[in-house]
Amino acid sequence: MICCAGTCKYSRLILLQFETVRRLYNDTTVQYHRDAIGKICKVLGIRIGDLLILVEDEKENE
């Protein structure tokens, strides 16, 4: 779990709400908003593939 200070720092840096950054970090986000992902990638200088990976659901593979 991310510390409050780190979450606050990045939420201010990226200009996103604290709760949005906390959920992304803790992997509790239900849906990803395009604008939020775009801001994160732009501020950090990364591509979307550096931020997100697709993990197959084991239940689907049975």
- Whether 56 is in a domain gets the answer no
DSSP one-letter code for 31: S
- Whether 40 is in a domain gets the answer yes
pTM, two decimal places: 0.64
Cβ–Cβ < 8 Å for 25, 5: no
The pLDDT tens digits for 12-54 are: 777 788 888 888 888 888 888 888 889 888 888 999 999 888 8
Separation CA 39–CA 49 (nearest Å): 14
- Whether 45 is in a domain gets the answer yes
- Whether 41 is in a domain gets the answer yes
- Whether 13 is in a domain gets the answer yes
- Whether 59 is in a domain gets the answer no
- Whether 60 is in a domain gets the answer no
Domain count within the chain:
1
Token output for 51: 């931020």
